[in-house]
Amino acid sequence: MRKKIVAGNWKMFNNLEESKELINGILEKLKNEKVNCDVIICPPYTSLSESAGLLKGSVVKLGAQNMHAEDKGAFTGEISSSMLKSAGCEYVILGHSERRTIFNESDDDINKKVKKAFSAGLKPIFCFGETLSERESGITNEVVKRQVTEGLKDIPESDLVNLVVAYEPVWAIGTGKTATPEQAEEVHSFVRSLIKELYSETAAENIVIQYGGSVKPENAADLLSRKNIDGALVGGACLKADSFIGIIKSA
């Protein structure tokens, strides 16, 4: 049985004070809940270290939203894997569609980051997904296959236990337009069969595939009840303790 994982991607929201307030709100509300899934929050870099302190001893784990593929160097404005580790991160989101489209990250760039994350002892939450025009052109599976195959190129099967993958159709992110559970399940099932092809049946059975794109407390239970949907990567709805907890409860 795969354990479900609910992760909150805070994006560029919440300064330090706001971050503390949100974390305290989440922890307070979680006290009264029996949590059956893994919970991760991914605040902005400037809040990571403080967040790690607040989360200590709780069920909530810490992740970052991106990192650079090099260990160190003259890369003004960038953050390395060891900086994230030392700030207390266990996870790092890589290949988010906003990184791919706004910051022009290629499959190859993302693959380098995934490799670096593993070697640094961070667990990647590796994202992929098609745009609306790709879906309408009927090439969803082709795009997803390319992103997953290239993104995981040369990653050994032994690393997959520390990998989370997230299917995030670009047209569903921040738009309020969720993929239907059927649409999501179809791609998740395709990705699981792709992992079987690239690795093995065991790897396919064990890999955690999250869905992301306008997940809310109202639609989470239906999505998360599908056979191949193992969790949620949440944007907008993770910025309020109540709605984030609502999704955790669904899982």
Q: 70: buried, middle or exposed (CB in 10 Å: 19+, 13-18, 0-12)?
A: middle
Q: What are the two backbone dihedrals, phi and then psi, of residue 8, each rounded to the nearest 5 degrees?
A: -110, 120
98 is catalytic: no
Q: How many whole angstroms separate alpha carbon 179 and alpha carbon 37?
A: 22
Q: Which of 96, 98, 185, 188 is catalytic?
A: 96
Closest distance of CB 9 from ligand PGA, Å: 4
Residue 60 or 173: the one with the smaller Cβ distance to ligand PGA is 173
CA separation (Å) from 71 to 80, 112, 198?
A: 6, 11, 28
96 is catalytic: yes
Structure tokens at 63: 């992740």
Q: Binding string, 164-183, against ligand PGA, x = CB under 6 A?
A: ----x----xx---------
Residue with tokens 């303790």, as numbered in its chain: 241
Element (H, E) at 251: none
Q: What are the two backbone dihedrals, phi and then psi, of residue 134, each rounded to the nearest 5 degrees?
A: -65, -40
Q: By CB under 6 A, tell whether 233 contacts ligand PGA.
A: yes
Q: By CB under 6 A, tell whether 129 contacts ligand PGA.
A: no
Closest distance of CB 150 from ligand PGA, Å: 20
DSSP symbol at 65: S
Q: Which of 95, 129, 181, 213 touches ligand PGA by CB under 6 A?
A: 213
Q: By CB under 6 A, tell whether 235 contacts ligand PGA.
A: yes
Contact 61, 55 (CB under 8 A): yes
Residue 204 or 231: the one with the smaller Cβ distance to ligand PGA is 231
Residue 105 or 168: the one with the smaller Cβ distance to ligand PGA is 168
Q: Which stretch binds ligand PGA (CB under 6 A): 46-54, 100-108, 181-189, 235-243?
A: 235-243
**Number of residues counted as binding ligand PGA (CB under 6 A):** 13
Q: How many whole angstroms separate alpha carbon 248 and alpha carbon 234?
A: 10
Q: Which of 9, 51, 81, 140 touches ligand PGA by CB under 6 A?
A: 9
Closest distance of CB 239 from ligand PGA, Å: 9
Taking the CA atoms of residue 220, residue 222, residue 223 and residue 228 in that order, the dihedral angle to the nearest 10 degrees is 140
| Contact residues for ligand PGA, defined by CB under 6 A | 9, 168, 173-174, 212-215, 233-237
